[in-house]
Amino acid sequence: MEGGGRPQPPDTQMAEAAPPQQPVYQNALPLMFPRMQIPATPSYGGSSALNSETNESAAIKKIVNAFGNKVDAKRTLREIKLLRYMAHENVVAIRDVIPPPQRECFNDVYIVYELMDTDLHQLICCNQKFNEEHYQYFIYQILRGLKYIHTANVLHRDLKPSNLLVNENCDLKICDFGLGRVNTESDFMTEYVITRWYRPPELLLYSSQYSAAIDMWSVGCIFMELFIRKPLFPGRDHLHQLLGTPSEAEMEYVNENAKRYIQQLPNYPGQSFSEKFPNVHPLAIDLAQKMLTFDPKQRITGEFVAKE
């Protein structure tokens, strides 16, 4: 974890064809990955394909009966709209949306993305060894992509290892913007977002007013998971997710009902990360703790971390 500057990469049956004016995608041949041991997992979206016009590999995500559920349809539309306007090395690129042969057959949606080899969850679960350069390069790319997303006034709201795509060169891209949304202060926010293990205290306490700090908490969880190779907060339900009893000052943003509930619980001291994870570098522990503060106002920002 020592040293400044930008981290360097460590050494380490398809759907019916679209109309003629659209690119044609064909099944791609398996690739060999010499730099990292890539587990055999489906590409993001499930199918790997080759654009016969550009000879470019791609991932095709099939959304079955896309309009059968209003919530799922809105999430699909939200992801397409957000990714169409994003262009960054650490955010997955949307290449195309394949229309149906006839309008009357428009039930399934096929979204074409750039192809990546696997995701961070699969790498954490397999026997792929990480070194200090891996840790630095992964966290740098996550924060770099997140800074771009937050600068566009967008919250991702579902950051987790399976939503971080990786290739053989350890290049990382943030994906799955189905829960993403534009951060407008006057809007009412849905509190039930983010997979529970990566959900910050303000959402566990049903706060409907939150900020980009929710994504930073998730990054802190992911960062520690790289080291310990398992989720940092694997509670069975939301009652098991709080780490230590917060002080009165830390509960300033909490609504009265949630505050009364917390005050009725037994007082638990917070655990020392350095004692619980003695094999993790002290600088990594320090960075993780700054991203995992109970009070979102005190949580470190991605921009600050990237500079540091």
Nearest CA-CA partner of 258 in 200, 292, 207, 190? 207
Element holding 260 (H helix, E strand): helix 256-264
What amino acid positions are annotated as catalytic residues? 158
Q: List helix spans (H) across the chain.
A: 70-84, 120-125, 132-151, 201-204, 213-228, 256-264, 273-276, 282-291, 302-307
- In the structure encoding, which two tokens stand for residue 308, read together? 């540091």
Amino acid at 4: G
Give, to the nearest 10 degrees, the angle between helix 282-291 and helix 213-228: 150
Q: Please report, for residues 167, 271, 308, the alpha-carbon distance to residue 300 in angstroms, rounded to integers and kept in the order given.
A: 28, 20, 11
Work out the burial of residue 13: count CB atoms within 10 Å of its CB; fewer than 13 is exposed, 13-18 middle, 19 or more buried. Answer: exposed
